[in-house]
């Protein structure tokens, strides 16, 4: 029947969307983790093996910037997927929103 076809079609479309979003999520998470681990592994250390003050500051700034890039990435994904669902995040893509995030 028509109702069975419609339900099957939309469930299939929803599953495909979920599967693609999940794969994208894991890929982004993996690359961010790789970048953080690379920087932490090669950060300058003192003779006692502890991170130097400059290295700690660099890693802290890197973590903050990675969180910002991650937020902006998902704001863009939401914006492209839906004109209404991503509305609260669209402000982040404006000049005023970006300036506020940079503070």
- pLDDT for 87 equals 56
Counting as low any pLDDT under 50, the low residues of the chain are: none
- pLDDT for 48 equals 94
Q: How far is Cα 80 from Cα 20, in angstroms, rounded to an integer?
A: 15
- pLDDT for 34 equals 94
- pLDDT for 30 equals 92
For 13-47, letters b (16+ CB in 10 Å) and e give eeeeeeeeeeeeeeeeeeebeeeeeeeeeeeeeee
């Amino acid at each position: 029947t028509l109702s069975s076809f419609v339900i099957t079609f939309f469930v299939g479309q929803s599953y495909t969307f979920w599967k693609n979003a999940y794969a994208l999520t894991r890929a982004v998470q993996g690359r961010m983790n790789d970048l953080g681990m690379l920087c932490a592994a090669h950060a300058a250390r003192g003779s006692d093996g502890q991170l130097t003050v400059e290295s700690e500051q660099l890693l802290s700034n890197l973590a903050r910037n990675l969180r910002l890039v991650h937020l902006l990435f998902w704001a863009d994904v939401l914006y492209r997927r839906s004109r209404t669902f991503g509305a609260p995040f669209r402000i982040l893509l404006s000049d005023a929103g970006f300036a506020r995030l940079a503070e």
